[in-house]
Chain A
Amino acid sequence: MTITPEEITKIRNDFPILNERVNSKPLIYLDNAATLQMPLPVMQRIEKHYLHNNANVHRGIHTLSEKSSYDFEQARIRVQKFIGAQTEESIVFCSGTTDAINLAANMLDENYIQPGDEIIVSDLEHHSNFVPWQQLCKKNKATFTVFNTTDGRIDFDRFKNTINTNTKLVAITQVSNVTGSVIPIKEIVRIAHEHNIPVLVDGAQGIRHNLGSVEELGCDFYCFSGHKLGALTGIGVLYISPEIRERFSHIELSPTRFGGSMVDAVTTSDTTFAPQPFCYEAGTPHYVGAISLAAALDYIDSIGCSKISTYEADLLKKLESSLKEIDGLHILGNSQQRAGCISFIVDNVHPLDLATILDKMGVAVRSGQLCAQPILASFRTSHVVRVSPAFYNSKEEINIFLKYLKDALKLLQRYR
Chain B
Amino acid sequence: MSNSVEIKQQKFIEDFNSLEDALWQNEFLLRLAGNAQSYPIKYKDETHLLKGCQSEAWICCGNSEDYSTQTQSDIFFMNAESDALIVKGMLQIIAYLTNDKKVQDVATAHFTFLEDTDLINQISSDRFKGMKSALRLVQKRAAEIAADLDNAVL
Contact = CB atoms under 8 A, between A and B. Distances in A.
A415 B32 CA distance: 9
Contact of B55 (A23, A350, A411): A350
B26 A360 contact: yes
A26 to B, nearest CB: 14
Contacts of B21: 24
Nearest to A352: B84
A415 B55 contact: no
Contact of A353 (B22, B31, B85, B122): B85
A361 interface: yes
Contacts of B83: 350
B40 interface: no
Nearest to B89: A415
Contact of B34 (A350, A360, A414): A414
A24 B22 contact: yes
Interface in B25-55: 26-27, 30-31, 33-34, 54-55
B86 A352 contact: yes
B23 A415 contact: no
A383 B55 contact: yes
A24 to B, nearest CB: 7
Interface in A321-372: 350, 352-353, 356-357, 360-361, 368
B91 interface: no
Contacts of A23: 22-23
A215 to B, nearest CB: 42
Interface string B75-86: 000000001111
Contact of B85 (A360, A383, A415): A415
A352 B54 contact: yes
Interface residues of B, number: 17
B87 interface: yes
A410 to B, nearest CB: 11
B19 to A, nearest CB: 12
Interface in A11-39: 23-24
A416 B55 CA distance: 16
Contacts of B54: 352, 368, 383
B86 A411 contact: no
A412 interface: yes
A411 B27 contact: yes
A353 B86 CA distance: 6
Contacts of A24: 21-22
Contacts of A352: 54-55, 84, 86-87
Contacts of B22: 23-24, 360
Interface of B: 21-23, 26-27, 30-31, 33-34, 54-55, 83-87, 122
18 contacts: A23-B22, A24-B21, A24-B22, A350-B55, A350-B84, A353-B30, A356-B26, A356-B86, A360-B26, A411-B27, A411-B30, A412-B30, A412-B85, A414-B30, A414-B34, A415-B85, A416-B34, A416-B85
Given A352-B87, A360-B26, A414-B30, 19 more contacts: A23-B23, A350-B55, A352-B55, A352-B86, A353-B85, A353-B86, A356-B26, A356-B86, A357-B23, A357-B26, A357-B86, A360-B22, A360-B122, A368-B54, A411-B27, A412-B30, A415-B33, A415-B34, A416-B85
